[in-house]
Amino acid sequence: MISCLVLYRGSDFCQFLRHENNKIFFEDKEVKCPIIYTGPLDELFKYKYGQLSYRSLKFEFLNLNEDKFQNTAVVNYPAHPIMTRITEYKNMTLENHSGTIISKEYPGAFDKKSKDFNVPYYPMPTDNSREQYKKYKNLADNYKNLYPLGRLATYKYLNMDQVIKNALDLFKNMVEK
């Protein structure tokens, strides 16, 4: 049986982690089990090489007094100047009741201090940020039990099917060891 510690962005775990001599300690006890981290590596390593660039999103939720707002669950607006998509949740679950809830998504540059854009959602890879990420990845590679996984930890745009496949492949490799 594999036991592991899973860390994700915003997790209280990160506040209690300490890195020393290529070992990770949680509440001053060495963590020997696999650690799967899905948040930004720059955050995990306390921005040792500076903060990476991310795109964030602002969500506006609206409760509408209409039976249906759009014909599908998600409509993307790639040419819209300020909005990326509208999601109507009722169309995902095939609910049948009056009224509907939609959300509108607005992109913006990630800024920890921003009221609206303080959560990183997508990496913004530039030549500079790729080089910066390589430093974080090299640092992470020094920890034999640390496994960065997902869009933020690998600093790649990944669709959810790719994230799930990567997680299954990681689990398979861990079981085979």
Is residue 140 a contact partner of residue 22, using CB atoms and an 8 Å limit?
Answer: no
Residue 69 covered by a domain: yes
Domain assignment of residue 135, yes or no: yes
Q: What CATH number does the domain containing 45 carry? A: 3.40.50.720
b/e for 31-43, b at 16 or more Cβ within 10 A?
Answer: beebbbbbbbbbb
Instruction: Give the count of domains, the chain.
Output: 2
Q: What digits encode the pLDDT tens for the residues 114-161?
A: 999 999 999 999 999 999 999 999 999 999 889 999 999 999 999 999
Could you tell me if residue 77 is inside a domain?
yes
Same domain, 17 and 98: no
Tell me whether residue 116 is in a domain.
Answer: no
Digit-coded pLDDT (tens) for 3-52? 656 655 555 566 777 778 888 887 788 888 888 888 899 988 889 999 99
